[in-house]
């Protein structure tokens, strides 16, 4: 290292001396001696670096690594510059979401999403089995609607279908009628007094399947209505019309 410093000093001194001699002969100075000295120093410094790269393999590897990192840095800068104009203006829970490209509002057709969602689970026209008052709604411990009515009131099916079961059960529901409406939908009517249909009968909303009764465990005459969608109990309010008021069928 010292020999390179001595050579740099010698070249600098020689360059300055030459420049001074030229200044003395001509009376003017067209080339700065400082620039000449710097040129000589730069040349010698380059010579030193090349020599070190040749005799020091690790230094050569380090220079290659620096070159690779420089290229990566440049590519990253270009990528950031490309993504920056497309930053989303949406934040979720305080976190900004980055998107590849924002849609062109002038070219994209506008799509309106209706706020009204149909609550019906089937194309059938459903109706309430009897005209009466909702005495108990649908909730976690009572997956049905109880509609109170006078004893003997005719019970109509909520929709057209085929009678799947008609008879008495021993789980507290008394006489029941089960109707398959197709599309995976079934309706069950419990505490029926007199059953008016049999298994396999085809019925519609005008048919009478039975009468309001007191069979099974009950505190008063009413129709216990259950609706099943693919064997899963659902709120009857999702298929019944609003004849008793949507809030009445909320099960709250």
Residue 252's pLDDT band (cuts 50, 70, 90): very low
The string of DSSP letters for 89-122 reads EEEETTEEEE-S----TTTSPP-PPPS-----SS
CA angle 230, 132, 140 (to 5 degrees): 40
Average pLDDT over residues 37-49: 59
| Cβ neighbours of 220 (radius 10 Å) | 12
β-strands 192-195, 87-92 pairing: unpaired
CB-based contacts of 70, cutoff 8 Å, min separation 6:
none
Q: Which residues belong to CATH 2.70.70.10 in the chain?
A: 133-249
pLDDT of 137 > 60? The answer is yes
Residue 158: closest CA among 248, 244, 231, 247: 244
Residue 80 has what pLDDT?
A: 61
β-strands 133-136, 145-148 pairing: antiparallel
Span 165-193, pLDDT tens digits: 999 999 889 999 999 998 888 999 999 99
Top-level CATH class of 133-249? mainly beta
Residue 231: strand, helix, or coil: coil
Residue 238 has what pLDDT?
A: 74
Distances (CA, A) of 237 to 96, 134, 142, 224, 249: 41, 11, 14, 13, 5
Torsional sign, CA 186, 189, 190, 193: negative
Residue 169 has what pLDDT?
A: 93
Span 200-238, pLDDT tens digits: 999 998 999 999 999 998 888 999 999 888 888 888 877
Burial grade of 156 (CB within 10 A; 0-12, 13-18, 19 or more): buried
């Amino acid at each position: 290292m010292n020999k390179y410093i001595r050579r740099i000093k010698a070249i600098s001194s020689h360059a300055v001396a030459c420049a001074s001699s030229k200044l003395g002969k001509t009376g003017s100075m067209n080339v700065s001696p400082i620039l000449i000295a710097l040129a000589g120093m730069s040349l010698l410094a380059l010579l030193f670096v090349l020599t070190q790269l040749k005799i020091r393999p690790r230094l050569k590897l380090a220079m290659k690594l620096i070159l690779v990192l420089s290229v990566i840095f440049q590519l990253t800068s270009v990528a950031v510059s490309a993504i920056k104009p497309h930053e989303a203006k949406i934040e979720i829970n305080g976190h900004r979401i980055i998107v590849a490209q924002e849609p062109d509002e002038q070219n994209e057709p506008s799509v309106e999403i209706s706020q009204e969602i149909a609550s019906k689970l089937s194309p059938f026209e459903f109706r309430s089995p009897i005209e009466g008052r909702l005495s108990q709604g649908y909730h976690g411990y009572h997956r049905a609607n109880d509609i109170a009515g006078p004893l003997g009131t005719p019970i109509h099916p909520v929709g057209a279908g085929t009678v799947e079961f008609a008879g008495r059960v021993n789980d507290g529901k008394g006489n029941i009628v089960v109707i398959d409406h197709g599309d995976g939908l079934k309706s069950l009517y419990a505490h029926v007094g007199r059953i008016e249909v049999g298994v396999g009968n085809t019925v519609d909303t005008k048919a009478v399947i039975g009468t309001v009764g007191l069979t099974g465990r009950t505190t008063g005459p009413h129709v216990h209505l259950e609706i099943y969608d693919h064997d899963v109990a659902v709120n009857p309010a999702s298929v019944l019309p609003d004849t008793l008021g949507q809030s009445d069928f909320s099960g709250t």
